Chains A and B, each alone.
Chain A
Amino acid sequence: MTDIEKLKQLVPQIKRDILRMVHGAASGHPGGSLGCTEFMTTLYFNIMNTKSGFDMAGKEEDIFFLSNGHIAPLWYSVLARKGFFPLKELSTFRRLNTRLQGHPTTAEGLPGIRIASGSLGQGLSVALGAALAKKMNDDHHLVFSLHGDGECEEGQIWEAAMAAAHYKADNLISTFDRNGLQIDGSTEEVFGLGDLSAKLRAFGWLVIETEKGNDVLEMLHVLHEAKQKAFHEKPVAIVMHTMMGAGVDFMENKHHWHGVAPDDEELALALHQLTETLGDYPV
């Protein structure tokens, strides 16, 4: 099976996981999770150079930070499907005593997670710190991070963006999910972000912009391009246009689905649109 075929099998299955987890917990964030599935699946299954097993320090391997921690359902599904922890654990999402907290944390010892996130805007600084540590350690691997576009309203993102260019953190590849939506509505109505790529370029980053954030072939292409652009004295940004809720017609491009769980009927409708390719996780 080719890489593309494998990714095309994984994506709908992970989207099913997301919907079932959020439905099972009757809470959580399906919109951004569905919108970033193609990106994160490609990153973990085809791009990142990781060791087997998990160690916190992540030395001599590529590492990833999720800064928009509310799309945890996606991350948990990707980590489980990649073998970091048992698939059946996905059914514990957001339940008492779970390792799969509402937002990612290191406090419960879940393999794959290196920092807590949820309060927005902090992950770029953390990823930059980890990238600088890799430089100090002569470790020639990459640090990846993912951020929401609404998250870029936080000032700390721009502190970190300025710092990354200042330190020439060219081992850092940060992706910005430009779905144009946030809890209260469109980003341009709530708090106009304008031309995110131009802003990042002005801050000293190499920027790749793609309109097709929900296309695995495009994700493969863009992430390979980002890797080629790494180690050229500048941090690399991918500004990725996606559709919130991608793959479920009634959720697509609706900010309502940022943080609302589908009910039984909605879940059935949604799952009907996504093929069960690799087997649902057991409840």
Chain B
Amino acid sequence: MLFQSFGDIGFTEKKDTRSGFGDAVYELGKTHPEVVVLTADLAGSLKLGPFIKAYSNRFIEAGIAEANMIGMAAGLCIGGKIPIATTFANFATGRVYDQIRQSVAYSNKPVKICASHAGLTLGEDGATHQILEDIAMMRAMPNMTVICPCDYEQTKAATLALPAINGPVYLRFGRPKVPVFIPSGIRFMPGKAQALVPGDAVSIFASGHLVWKAVEAGKILEQQGIHAELINIHTIKPLDRQAVIDSVARTGCAVTAEEHEINGGLGDAIAAVLARHQPVPVEMIAVHDTFGESGKPNELMTKYHIDTPDIVLAVKNVIKRKMKRN
């Protein structure tokens, strides 16, 4: 466990996860001459400035033509490159599903699709840009690894780990500034769940921006004498099944929390493992089969019930269900 209690977790600054990506991409430029970065007219949003300045010969501005960007990235792999293809999560998945499916995943090319502005927390731009189905799409794709880190430091570490991951990867991160609470310098272990806080009352499996919300919920619950175990599922595929099963064997119930549709995301992935190996009551914090809308990130998280109080309530409900069974 990274922390002993929720009281141990704090932060001194807020940073956007996409800056973690941008900073790490610049590092990769130095360490990996085979890394080539592509973007679809979003170099600024993806924080690519330092990489472009230092390695302009390994940067491809693909314009607002995402399908071609994904295809070019697949072609670059054939010449021995490790392409990092970047845009907003909406345009990086739904718009180019078939290009990823045939030219990247089926062809098993190590294209690293790095997507910012995922989920509701994109905010004011509204539902056209707030993709909440991307994890479902990418999870369903054979050969694809799906990663959704929780803060600046973890996004940086996950990005640095990309060249070592075989095959294609979907790395999902976001727009807003969020607390930086994962200590720097922790090596990213793809496919390995990150146990954050031990507990015995419930297992909370959270991903992306919802990990911090789960920390806040854990603090409230801790003050009420409810000790939740918090596990950060940064790699949604391949899922660390053993970590999920082992945690629930100790706690007897689970809450999942994600900034994604309830259909096809982390909740479904966890529920599928538990249904087969360790059936227990599960509550899911996710967006319930609806599109988002314009608003500030925190307002949207509140309105769409993916906020701290929702996690607290879900924990209490799932514990009640567990008690009824016992």
A107-B108, A129-B73 known; A160 and B102 CB under 8 Å?
no
Closest to B72 in A: A129
**A130→B79 contact, CB < 8 A:** yes
How far is A139 from B80 in the complex, measured between Cα atoms in Å?
12
Closest to A130 in B: B75
How far is A134 from B75 in the complex, measured between Cα atoms in Å?
10
Residues in chain A near residue B70, CB distance under 8 A: 125
Interface presence of A155 (CB below 8 A): yes
How far is A156 from B69 in the complex, measured between Cα atoms in Å?
10
* Interface members, chain B 92-119 (any A CB < 8 Å): 98-99, 101-103, 106-109
Q: How many residues of B contact A (CB 8 A)?
A: 32
How far is A174 from B81 in the complex, measured between Cα atoms in Å?
22
A159-B67, A159-B68 known; A129 and B107 CB under 8 Å?
no
Q: Interface-forming stretch among B55-63, B153-161, B198-206? A: B55-63
Residues in chain A near residue B230, CB distance under 8 A: none
Residues in chain B near residue A159, CB distance under 8 A: 63, 65, 67-68
Partner among A122, A134, A166, A167 whose Cβ is within 8 Å of the Cβ of B79: A134
Residues in chain B near residue A131, CB distance under 8 A: 75
**B80→A129 contact, CB < 8 A:** no
Cβ proximity bits A110-145 to B, threshold 8 Å, 1 near / 0 not: 000011111101111111111111101101000000
**B102→A133 contact, CB < 8 A:** no
Residues in chain A near residue B178, CB distance under 8 A: none
* Interface members, chain B 70-97 (any A CB < 8 Å): 70-81, 83
* Interface members, chain A 150-182 (any B CB < 8 Å): 155-156, 159-160, 162-163, 166-167
Partner among A58, A119, A122, A155 whose Cβ is within 8 Å of the Cβ of B78: A58
**A128→B103 contact, CB < 8 A:** no
Interface presence of B36 (CB below 8 A): yes
How far is A119 from B97 in the complex, measured between Cα atoms in Å?
12
Residues in chain B near residue A156, CB distance under 8 A: 67-68, 71, 99
How far is A11 from B273 in the complex, measured between Cα atoms in Å?
55
Residues in chain B near residue A10, CB distance under 8 A: none
Partner among A59, A107, A133, A139 whose Cβ is within 8 Å of the Cβ of B76: A133
Interface presence of A197 (CB below 8 A): no
**A163→B78 contact, CB < 8 A:** no
A57-B78, A57-B79, A163-B62 known; A105 and B106 CB under 8 Å?
yes
**A129→B106 contact, CB < 8 A:** no
**B75→A132 contact, CB < 8 A:** yes
Residues in chain B near residue A119, CB distance under 8 A: 98, 101-102
**A115→B72 contact, CB < 8 A:** no
A57-B80, A132-B76, A136-B79 known; A122 and B102 CB under 8 Å?
yes
Give, as a whole number of angstroms, the nearest-CB distance from A128 to chain B: 6
A125-B71, A129-B75 known; A115 and B103 CB under 8 Å?
yes
Give, as a whole number of angstroms, the nearest-CB distance from A170 to chain B: 16
Closest to A145 in B: B75
Interface presence of A106 (CB below 8 A): yes
A126-B72, A129-B72 known; A115 and B78 CB under 8 Å?
yes
Closest to A58 in B: B78
How far is A126 from B99 in the complex, measured between Cα atoms in Å?
10
**B106→A116 contact, CB < 8 A:** yes
**B103→A125 contact, CB < 8 A:** yes
A119-B98, A163-B62 known; A126 and B79 CB under 8 Å?
no
How far is A105 from B105 in the complex, measured between Cα atoms in Å?
11
How far is A122 from B102 in the complex, measured between Cα atoms in Å?
9
* Interface members, chain B 103-145 (any A CB < 8 Å): 103, 106-109
How far is A122 from B109 in the complex, measured between Cα atoms in Å?
14
**A133→B107 contact, CB < 8 A:** no
Interface presence of A66 (CB below 8 A): no
Give, as a whole number of angstroms, the nearest-CB distance from A64 to chain B: 11
Closest to B69 in A: A125
Partner among B71, B79, B98 whose Cβ is within 8 Å of the Cβ of A133: B79
How far is A156 from B65 in the complex, measured between Cα atoms in Å?
8
Partner among B72, B80, B99, B102 whose Cβ is within 8 Å of the Cβ of A132: B72
Residues in chain A near residue B102, CB distance under 8 A: 116-119, 122
* Additional 12 contacts, C-beta under 8 A, given A121-B67, A136-B36: A59-B79, A122-B71, A122-B103, A125-B71, A125-B103, A126-B103, A128-B75, A129-B71, A130-B78, A136-B58, A156-B68, A167-B60
Report B's interface with A, CB cutoff 8 A. 36, 57-58, 60, 62-63, 65, 67-81, 83, 98-99, 101-103, 106-109
